[in-house]
C-alpha cells in the first residue's frame, strides 16, 4: 500500500506549543556553543526546517525540533513554522529517540534509560522494533539496558568516560559484591576487555580436563553448543511475547525485566562460545 503523508505545514503560535511528556532529553544548555550557533543561523537565515508537532488537548505537542523551538523562543518569535501530524504515543517516542540517537546527544546511560522506558511502556516486542527504528542491533539495545544494573560508582565512571561500555558490560559478569572493586581495578590498571575476561575466567573452577578431549571433538561440541544457545535465544523471544498478556503493569514489568536478564546472559554465553570455537578451530587446523 502506498503511503501518503497527511501532514500539514503552517505557522503556529508559540504559546500554543508545549513540550512532550515523552521527551527523551529535557535539558537544553542555552550557553552551549552549538545552541548559540543555531540561534545565530536562524537569525541570519530564518528557520530552514519546520519543527514537528502533533495535536493534543488545548494545543500542540513537540515531537521533534526542541532545540529549534527553544532557539526561536529565545529570539522572541510569536509564531513558528510547524509540520502537524497525527501520531501515537509510541510513534512520538520512537521519533524523539531516533532523533537523539542520530545526533549522538545521549550518553550510554541516558540511552539505557530511554530504551528501558520504551520496553516497559510498549512491550517486549519493542526491543526488535526499536532496534530497527534506530538502525542498531537488538544486542545493542539489550546491552544498553543491562548497564542500568551497574553499581552507582561504576555508572559515574561510565558517564565520566573512566569506563567504556564494553568494560562496563564485562563488569556485569562479576559477582555484585566484587563489582565496585573490579571497576576501580579496571580504571587503575587500564584493563582491556580481553584482560578483564581473563581475570574472570581465572576465578572460575573448570571441571573439564582439556587433556581428555581432542581438539576436533571440542570444536564439534562447541558448534552444537553455539547452535543450542541461538535456539534458546529464539525461543525466549517467542515466549517473552506472552508477557504482554499480563494485565498487572508491575508484574508485567518484572517478567519482562527477568526475560531481558536471561537474554543478556545468553548473549554473553554465546560471545564466549564463539571465542572458544575460534580457539579450538585453530587447534584443529594444526593437527
pLDDT confidence of residue 2:
43
Q: How many residues does the chain have?
A: 287
Query: To the nearest whole number, what is the mean pLDDT of the chain?
Result: 82
Q: Are 105 and 25 in contact (CB under 8 A)?
A: yes
pLDDT confidence of residue 128:
80
Q: 54 - beta bridge partners?
A: 61
Distance of CA 88 to the CA centre of its chain: 21
Q: Phi and psi dihedrals of 82, rounded to 5?
A: -135, 145
DSSP 3-state assignment of 13?
strand
* Average pLDDT, consecutive stretches of 10 residues, N- to C-terminus, the chain (287 residues): 70 93 74 89 94 93 92 95 92 86 84 86 70 86 90 88 90 85 86 87 56 60 80 75 77 82 83 77 56
**Which residue matches cell numbers 522572541?**
76
pLDDT confidence of residue 211:
46
Gyration radius of the chain over CA positions: 24
DSSP code per residue over 191-241: --HHHHHHHHHHTSPP-S-GGGS-HHHHHHHHHHHHHHHHHHHHHHHHHHG
What are the residues whose beta carbons fall under 8 Å from the beta carbon of 81, sequence distance 6 or more? Answer: 9, 10, 11, 47, 50, 51
The string of pLDDT tens digits covering residues 106-158 is: 889 988 988 888 888 776 566 787 888 888 888 888 899 999 999 888 898 89
What the block records as the C-alpha cell of 175 is 559477582
pLDDT confidence of residue 136:
87
The string of pLDDT tens digits covering residues 85-119 is: 999 888 888 888 888 888 777 889 988 988 888 88
Amino acid at each position: 500500500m502506498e503511503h501518503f503523508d497527511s501532514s500539514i505545514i503552517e505557522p503556529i503560535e508559540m504559546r500554543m506549543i508545549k513540550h512532550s511528556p515523552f521527551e527523551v532529553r529535557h535539558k537544553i544548555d542555552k550557553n552551549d556553543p552549538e545552541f548559540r550557533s543555531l540561534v545565530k543561523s536562524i537569525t541570519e537565515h530564518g528557520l530552514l526546517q519546520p519543527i514537528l508537532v502533533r495535536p493534543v488537548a488545548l494545543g500542540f505537542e513537540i515531537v521533534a525540533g526542541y532545540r529549534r523551538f527553544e532557539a526561536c523562543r529565545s529570539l522572541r518569535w510569536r509564531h513558528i513554522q510547524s509540520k502537524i501530524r497525527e501520531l501515537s504515543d509510541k510513534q512520538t517516542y520512537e521519533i524523539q529517540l531516533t532523533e537523539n540517537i542520530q545526533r549522538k546527544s545521549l550518553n550510554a546511560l541516558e540511552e539505557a534509560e530511554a530504551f528501558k522506558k520504551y520496553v516497559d511502556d510498549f512491550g517486549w516486542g519493542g526491543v526488535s522494533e526499536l532496534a530497527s527504528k534506530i538502525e542498531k542491533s537488538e544486542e545493542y539495545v539489550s546491552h544498553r539496558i543491562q548497564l542500568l544494573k551497574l553499581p552507582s560508582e561504576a555508572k559515574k565512571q561510565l558517564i565520566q568516560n573512566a569506563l567504556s561500555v564494553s568494560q562496563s558490560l564485562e563488569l556485569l559478569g562479576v559477582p555484585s559484591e566484587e563489582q565496585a572493586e573490579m571497576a576501580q581495578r579496571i580504571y587503575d590498571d587500564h584493563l582491556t576487555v580481553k584482560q578483564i575476561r581473563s581475570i574472570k575466567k581465572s576465578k572460575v573452577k573448570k571441571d573439564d580436563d582439556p587433556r581428555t578431549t581432542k581438539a576436533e571433538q571440542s570444536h564439534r561440541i562447541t558448534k552444537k553448543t553455539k547452535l543450542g544457545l541461538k535456539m534458546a535465544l529464539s525461543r525466549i523471544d517467542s515466549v517473552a511475547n506472552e508477557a504482554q498478556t499480563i494485565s498487572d503493569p508491575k508484574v508485567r514489568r518484572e517478567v519482562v525485566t527477568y526475560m531481558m536478564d536471561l537474554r543478556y546472559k545468553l548473549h554473553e554465553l554465546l560471545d564466549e562460545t564463539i571465542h572458544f570455537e575460534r580457539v579450538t578451530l585453530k587447534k584443529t587446523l594444526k593437527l
